[in-house]
Amino acid sequence: MLVKLIPSVVLAGVLITAPFAMAEDKPKAMIAPGLYSFEVMHDGSMVEIKRNQNPENRITALYVTTFRGMPQAMHPFEPYDVETIAEREFVQYMIDAKNDKNIMIVDTRTIGWHQRLTIPGAVSYPYTMMDNPEDREWALDDFGVLKQSDGTYNFSDAKTLAMFCNGYWCGQTPAMIKALLEAGYPAEKIKYYRGGMQAWTSLGLSVVGEAAE
Let me know how long the chain is. Answer: 213
pLDDT digits (tens, 9 = 90+) for 127-153: 999 999 999 999 999 999 999 999 999
Give mean pLDDT, residues 13-19: 41
CB-based contacts of 93-102 (< 8 A; 24+ apart in sequence): 93/160, 93/162, 93/191, 94/38, 94/40, 94/49, 94/119, 94/121, 94/162, 95/38, 97/40, 97/121, 97/162, 98/40, 98/41, 101/159, 102/144, 102/157, 102/159, 102/160
Q: Is the pLDDT of residue 23 over 70?
A: no
pLDDT digits (tens, 9 = 90+) for 41-79: 999 999 999 999 999 999 999 999 999 999 999 999 999
* Domain residue limits, the chain: 3-208
The reply to whether the predicted model has a pTM over 0.75 is yes
Chain CA centroid to CA 180, Å? 17
Collapsed DSSP state (helix, strand, coil) of residue 100: coil
Per-residue model confidence (pLDDT) at position 55: 92
Q: Is the pLDDT of residue 12 over 80?
A: no
Q: What's the pLDDT band for 19 if we cut at 50, 70, 90?
A: low
Domain 3-208: CATH superfamily is Rhodanese-like domain (3.40.250.10)
Looking only at the bridges linking them, the beta strands covering 160-164 and 103-107 are parallel
Residue 19 preceded by cis peptide, ω within 30: no
